[in-house]
Amino acid sequence: MEMVTISINGKSISVPKDYTILQAARSAGIDIPTLCYLKDINEIGACRMCLVEVKGARTLVTACVYPVNEGMEVFTQTERVRKARKAVLELMLSNHNKKCLTCARNRNCELQTLAEELNVTELPYEGAQTPSTIDDVSPSIVRDNSKCILCRRCVAVCKKIQTVGAIDATQRGFNTTIGSSFEKSLNETDCAMCGQCVSVCPVGALYEKDGLAPVWKALADETKHVVVQTAPAVRAALGEEFGLPIGTPVTGKMAAALKALGFDKVFDTDFAADLTIMEEGTELLNRIKEGGKLPLITSCSPGWVKFCEHNFPDFLDNLSSAKSPHEMYGAILKSYYAEKAGIDPKDIFVVSVMPCTAKKFEAQRPELSGTGYPDVDAVLTTRELAKMIKEAGLKFNELEDAVFDSPFGDEATGAGVIFGATGGVMEAALRTVADVLTGKSLDKLDYTEVRGTEGIKEAAVKIADMDVKVAVAHGLGNARKLLNNIREGKADYHFIEIMGCPGGCVTGGGQPIQPAKVAAEIDLKAERAKALYAEDKAAGLRKSHENPYIKKLYEEYLGEPCGHKSHKLLHTHYQERPKY
């Protein structure tokens, strides 16, 4: 790689020729503030916060897009630079809704942080204010344009990474806003509800639809039996909301907090992940043996499913009819569990804590009500659970570890845990499918060929006398590439795992939000996934079909995987949706 030598603040450094000033500075440990910049996604120099001085240049330049060249001299903290950055920020704040104390991003706002770092103590400009137009029709995401700073990070991730394009800049000049076509609500577009726009928004212009009120109300209702279940990815990220390092597993403290909040039972969605493998794995084997529609594609990710309904309706028959794990669990809780506990299903209120904003949309699907009642009554994101814990005054980091409740809690396997990472569903399925096809309990547990953060992974796994061709994609842009390849006859598989969010559930739209500067330096999806793989490795059982409580559930209630009763409770259907 060709290198060049430049100096920053008098410090000589050697960097690759294709670097920008910002990349060069960060490689040397020199901080330059940014706001619109998202590494590899949004590098447009729009916000002007990264202004620096280059010797010989007539004007200040934006470090995030300005290329380095041999002998360049850069200054990042001259008086001229500091005054310019501060003026840019003050002008930005002149049009910003400054109700910070009640903002969803208070104390985790990149604009707020910059105001402190640049010592903004007064606002010399008071500009015309963008009207506070709230779009809260979507069951998953709320937009407030009065908080928007036009950084376009949400637009970039929606277009470039997810290839949905539900939002974009509209109008011109001072009237520019970020919105949907023809000023429609997000709910009237083909938005996948994935929440990746929320994850990258530096301010409070995008946030999840509030799910706390109905949960607090249910907890206060003595006639309700309120149960909660937590997705595997939540334990790998919740601790970040309480200052713990990224990727710290907090399973025990999370269970303790939920019990302290007053839930009647605290369950682990990992159990339902094992159940999903039984249903989905059996569905795959049936399709292979009976000549059914292949490839079978996983349906655990509601953002992916909605994306498929809008963009690839010709693949709807390829989708597994199995519900996602938390919806399966809700159906079992309002049927088998209700019978065992002697509780009327109408009095059971099921709360799902998920790393995902699309789960809020999913829970409202009318077809997800196998018992005659909604499988799940309320969905909270990981961030919302953290808010509940703080509101209740619990000192999370000081809680003693607790365990999930039985009979549907601590009986999950390691296979269920890894559902939260890209490739995890595939690996869990292969562990079970391999044993079924060979008729043996195989020693092979780690299918590393489907692990990792590469956008699309392919493998041919030799099982018995068959080469099972599989693929894994995460992020909707990668899903689009993969399905287009199949459409064009360029690829052929038996089984595909698709997760709507890059990295899978560990970096879902409902997970703790890290500043862009942190996300540029730390691979969040890899660090959080490590926590799940560590739990899997330490688990006593690591194959879903070996879970004794799963066996008991089928023996006592469901009969057999993909049988009549399980199909009624645990399977669903999908529908073509308009492409806007």
Domain locations in the chain as residue ranges = 3-92, 95-208, 213-570
Tell me which H or E stretch contains 474: strand 466-474
Instruction: For residue range 21-35, list pLDDT tens digits in order.
Output: 999 999 999 999 999
Closest CA to 98 of 204, 178, 179, 202: 204
Give me the phi and psi of 18, to 5 degrees please. Answer: -90, 10
Report how far residue 304's alpha carbon sits from residue 33's, in angstroms, rounded to the nearest whole number: 34
Per-residue tokens: 292? 């059914």
Report how far residue 495's alpha carbon sits from residue 31's, in angstroms, rounded to the nearest whole number: 45
Spatial CB neighbours of 153, under 8 Å, sequence gap ≥ 6: 36, 38, 41, 42, 200, 201, 202, 516
Q: Cβ distance 10 to 25 under 8 Å?
A: no
Report how far residue 146's alpha carbon sits from residue 131's, in angstroms, rounded to the nearest whole number: 6
Q: Are strands 134-135 and 141-144 parallel, antiparallel or unpaired?
A: antiparallel
In this chain, the answer to whether the domains covering 3-92 and 213-570 adopt an identical fold is: no
Report how far residue 318's alpha carbon sits from residue 577's, in angstroms, rounded to the nearest whole number: 16
Instruction: Provide the 8-state DSSP code for 61.
Output: E
Active site residue 521: no
Determine which one of 183, 367, 555, 556 is catalytic.
367
CB atoms inside a 10 Å sphere around CB 151: 28
Tell me what the mean pLDDT of segment 449-453 comes to: 95
Active site residue 300: yes
Determine which one of 320, 324, 335, 566 is catalytic.
320
How many angstroms separate the Cα of 500 from the Cα of each of 224, 493, 503, 513? 34, 19, 9, 17
Give me the phi and psi of 469, to 5 degrees please. Answer: -90, 120
Residue 409 confidence class, pLDDT cut points 50, 70, 90: low
Given a cut of 90, whether residue 505 has pLDDT beyond it is yes
Report how far residue 524's alpha carbon sits from residue 158's, in angstroms, rounded to the nearest whole number: 19
Per-residue tokens: 535? 């739990």
Report how far residue 161's alpha carbon sits from residue 183's, in angstroms, rounded to the nearest whole number: 23
Q: Tell me what percent of the residues of the chain surpass a pLDDT of 90.
A: 93
Instruction: For residue range 296-326, list pLDDT tens digits in order.
Output: 999 999 999 999 999 999 999 999 999 999 9
Determine which one of 505, 535, 544, 566 is catalytic.
505
Spatial CB neighbours of 345, under 8 Å, sequence gap ≥ 6: 334, 335, 338, 371, 372, 373
Active site residue 505: yes
Tell me what the mean pLDDT of segment 45-68 comes to: 97
Residue 56 confidence class, pLDDT cut points 50, 70, 90: very high
Given a cut of 70, whether residue 215 has pLDDT beyond it is yes
Q: Are strands 134-135 and 73-75 parallel, antiparallel or unpaired?
A: unpaired
Instruction: Report the sign of the C-alpha dihedral through residues 142, 147, 150, 153, in that order.
Output: negative
Determine which one of 300, 308, 501, 562 is catalytic.
300
Task: Tabulate helix, strand, coil % of the chain (nearest 5).
Answer: 45, 15, 40
pLDDT at 463 (0 to 100): 87
Determine which one of 43, 53, 241, 283 is catalytic.
283
Ranges of H-type helices in 118-227: 153-156, 196-200, 212-220
E strands, 82-194, are 134-135, 141-144, 168-170, 177-179
Active site residue 283: yes
Query: What angle separates helix 270-290 from helix 325-332, to the nearest 10 degrees?
Result: 110
Given a cut of 70, whether residue 410 has pLDDT beyond it is no
Determine which one of 323, 334, 359, 525 is catalytic.
359
Place of tokens 């020693």: 443
Residue 133 confidence class, pLDDT cut points 50, 70, 90: confident
Closest CA to 120 of 49, 60, 195: 49
Closest CA to 348 of 384, 376, 317, 390: 376
3-class SS letters over 360-421: HHHHCCCCCCCCCCCCCCEEEEHHHHHHHHHHCCCCHHHCCCCCCCCCCCCCCCHHHHHHHC
Residue 11 confidence class, pLDDT cut points 50, 70, 90: very high
Q: Cβ distance 319 to 297 under 8 Å?
A: yes
CB atoms inside a 10 Å sphere around CB 48: 18
Longest dimension (CA), the chain: 80
Q: Cβ distance 457 to 423 under 8 Å?
A: yes
Tell me which H or E stretch contains 26: helix 21-27
Place of tokens 């660090």: 527
Ranges of H-type helices in 294-348: 302-311, 325-332, 338-341
Tell me what the mean pLDDT of segment 136-145 comes to: 97
Report how far residue 93's alpha carbon sits from residue 112's, in angstroms, rounded to the nearest whole number: 10
Residue 258 confidence class, pLDDT cut points 50, 70, 90: very high
Given a cut of 90, whether residue 77 has pLDDT beyond it is yes
Helix, coil or strand: residue 167:
coil
Mean pLDDT of the chain: 96
Distance of CA 439 to the CA centre of its chain: 36
Closest CA to 125 of 95, 102, 159, 153: 95
Determine which one of 110, 241, 279, 280 is catalytic.
280
| CATH T-level fold of 95-208 | Alpha-Beta Plaits (3.30.70)
Per-residue tokens: 356? 């995902």
Per-residue tokens: 230? 């937590």
Instruction: Provide the 8-state DSSP code for 333.
Output: I
Determine which one of 362, 384, 411, 497 is catalytic.
362
Ranges of H-type helices in 184-333: 196-200, 212-220, 251-260, 270-290, 302-311, 325-332
Tell me what the mean pLDDT of segment 512-518 comes to: 97
CATH 3.10.20.740 fits 3-92, yes or no: yes
Tell me what the mean pLDDT of segment 93-122 comes to: 95
Please state which CATH number belongs to domain 213-570.
Answer: 3.40.50.1780
Query: Looking at this protein, which amino acid is placed at residue 464?
Result: A
Tell me what the mean pLDDT of segment 150-172 comes to: 96
